[in-house]
Structure 1
Amino acid sequence: MTKTSSGNFFEDFRLGQVIRHAAPRTVTLGDRALYGALYPSRFALSSSDIFAESCGLSPAPVEELVGFHIAFGKTVPDISLNAVANLGYAECRFHRPVAPGDTISASSRVIGLKENSNGKTGIVWVRSTATNQRAETIIDWARWVMVRKNRIGAEAPATTVPKLAEAVAPANLIVPPGLDFTGYDFDASGERHCWGDYAIGEKIDHVDGVTLEEAEHMMATRLWQNTAKVHFNVEARGDEARLVYGGHIISLARALSFNGLANVAPIAAINAGAHAAPAHAGDTVYAWSEVLDKAETAAPGIGALRLRLVATKGRDDGLTLRSEDGRYAPGVLLDLDYWAFCPL
């Protein structure tokens, strides 16, 4: 009897199936340090214990995406080990901050299945939940992934496509307990821009670019214990190239957005996300943002901005999302729609 696992293929999933993912992972100060080494992130709230304490958060949290990557990585061996690609995200909410010492566990429920017309792959939708050591929800999200079939002739489950919200409603955003921006230190944060300085429809070019390195993207993916074959094994894809984990692009683009959005933190929700094209080592990634919406909150000194974060392969001075035919413009790697909190 074999003692190894080949992961789940499309025909192994069942609607309503609940999967508890191994293994719980404790967040450390090392995670914070490595995140800063891999991505040029400078947001004060997750960089400085003193700054975070002045905003009502103690102990200081790690970046929201640290918790997301760890929780996401837990799901990979069961959900997307045999994936062709991760296709998108929706209805992601950050319920409470994650700090060093917290232990993250994750589980998923299958909410949708659809075989593709080629009969070789299918789309699997799951809703995943990450909890801490006190069984408190820290993050929950939906995502869908294209997964290979192991047996081409295997019977496909009945098609069920879940209906997912276009965006998390502002009223459903969760402000971290204690967060207070009334005494916000704009000198320490690096920029003076606040909630009132941003206008709906405004586009912000984040200017800087970072070239992807083979060793760095694989180190990042290992850090999050993401075992998807396409990120490590050149024989797992027809093009014999390692595919950069989409979360690596998200964190890289988010870090680049500091230049123009230094005070837009923490992330409150991810409304939708699409990896529009694959990324590989050697690509140079740039980013720009568009303000989609604004909302006030009941929390002291805190507003919310809904932003579109776009990562591109190569610089796009025109900040173009889509071509005239409605498809993503050449070079677009990531289209991420998210809410984040900002001082008023």
Structure 2
Amino acid sequence: MAKTTPGRFFEDYAVGDVLHHAVPRTVSGGERALYHALYPARHALYSSDEFARGCGLAGAPLEDLAAFHMVFGKTVPDVSLNAVANLGYAEGRWHLPVYAGDTLRAESEVIGVKQNSNGKSGVVYVRTRGLNQRDDCVLDYVRWVMVRKGDLEAPAPETCIPELAKVIPAEDLVIPNGLDFSGYDFALAGEAHRWGDYAVGEQIDHIDGVTIEEAEHMLATRLWQNTAKVHFDTTARPDGTRLIYGGHVISMARALSFNGLANAQMIVGLNGGAHANPCTAGMTIRAWSEVLDKAETSAPGVGAIRLRLVATSGGAPFQLKGEDGKYRSEVLLDLDYWALMPL
């Protein structure tokens, strides 16, 4: 009897399947240190326990994206081990901060399937929940991924594409209990720009760039226990390159956005996202942002700001799509998210 598994292929998924992902993970301060070693992350709320306490929290949480990557990594053996590419995200919300000592696990429900016209792969849609040791949901999101077929003769399933909200309404965002920016220390945070200083439609060039290396990407992907073959095995892709994990690009772009958005502290909503073009080692990532919307919240001194974060491998900032409506070749990431910022 075989003891190993090749992972799931497209024909192994059916709408309604619930996947309970293996290997819970207890978070320690090591994850924060490694995250800061991998990315130029400097947002004060995640760097300083004292700063976080001054904002009404128990201490500095794990970065929102680190929690996302950790939950995402749990899902890979069951969802995207045989993936061609991770395609997009929607309806993501962070419900609770994650602190050292919390134990995270994940479960996913298959909510859609669609075989591609070539008959060799298909798209699988899943809704994933990250749960802590008390079974509280700390975050949830939808993603869709292109997965190879194991048996090319397997019949195509009935197409089911879920209807997904394009934007999470601001009133549905979850504000952490106790969060209070009324005494926010702008000097310690690194910039004086507050919620009222940003205008819808404003664009920000984050200026700096970071060249992606093979070793740091593989370290990051192992940190999140992401086992997708395309990130490690050069024979898993026709061109013989390792595909950089999309979450690595997201975190790098978010860290670069500190220059101009240092006070966009907590990510609380993920409206949508697309990995527009593949990223490989040797590319230099740069980032720019656009303010899409703003909203007040019920928390003292706290406003919500909706941002488009774009990561590129070159070219001028603020160029997203060509005349044909397709993403420009240098665009790696197009991410639409809500963050919390002092008023």
C-alpha distance after superposition, 1:179-229 (max 9, x if no partner):
000000000000000000000000000000000000000100000000000
Counterpart CA distance in 1 for 2:2 and 2:341 is 53
2:254 corresponds to = 254
What letter matches 1:61 in structure 2?
A: P
1:51 corresponds to = 51
Mean alpha-carbon deviation: is it higher for 319-328 or for 258-267?
319-328
Matched-pair contact (CA < 8 Å) for 2:106–2:130: yes
Post-superposition shift, 1:60?
Answer: 1.8
1:257-336 equivalence runs, <5 A: 257-314=257-314, 316-336=315-335
1:208 corresponds to = 208
Post-superposition shift, 1:329?
Answer: 1.5
Counterpart CA distance in 2 for 1:117 and 1:145 is 15
1:109 corresponds to = 109
Gaps of 5+ in 1: none
1:1-344 equivalence runs, <5 A: 1-314=1-314, 316-344=315-343
What letter matches 2:286 in structure 1?
A: Y
SS in structure 2 of the partner of residue 40 of structure 1: coil
Matched-pair contact (CA < 8 Å) for 2:288–2:317: no
Counterpart CA distance in 2 for 1:188 and 1:4 is 51
What letter matches 1:263 in structure 2?
A: N
How many residues get paired? 343
What letter matches 1:340 in structure 2?
A: A
Post-superposition shift, 1:156?
Answer: 1.8
What letter matches 1:336 in structure 2?
A: L
SS in structure 2 of the partner of residue 204 of structure 1: strand
Counterpart CA distance in 1 for 2:329 and 2:115 is 28
Post-superposition shift, 1:62?
Answer: 1.1
What letter matches 1:196 in structure 2?
A: G
What letter matches 1:150 in structure 2?
A: G
Counterpart CA distance in 2 for 1:318 and 1:59 is 36
Percent same amino acid among aligned pairs? Answer: 64
Counterpart CA distance in 1 for 2:317 and 2:281 is 24
What letter matches 2:56 in structure 1?
A: G
Post-superposition shift, 1:99?
Answer: 0.7
What letter matches 1:252 in structure 2?
A: M
Counterpart CA distance in 2 for 1:127 and 1:73 is 14
What letter matches 1:323 in structure 2?
A: G
C-alpha distance after superposition, 1:272-300 (max 9, x if no partner):
00000000100000000000000000110
Gaps of 5+ in 2: none
Matched-pair contact (CA < 8 Å) for 2:201–2:292: yes
Counterpart CA distance in 1 for 2:145 and 2:4 is 23
What letter matches 2:287 in structure 1?
A: A
Counterpart CA distance in 2 for 1:150 and 1:206 is 43
Q: TM-score, normalised by structure 2?
A: 0.99
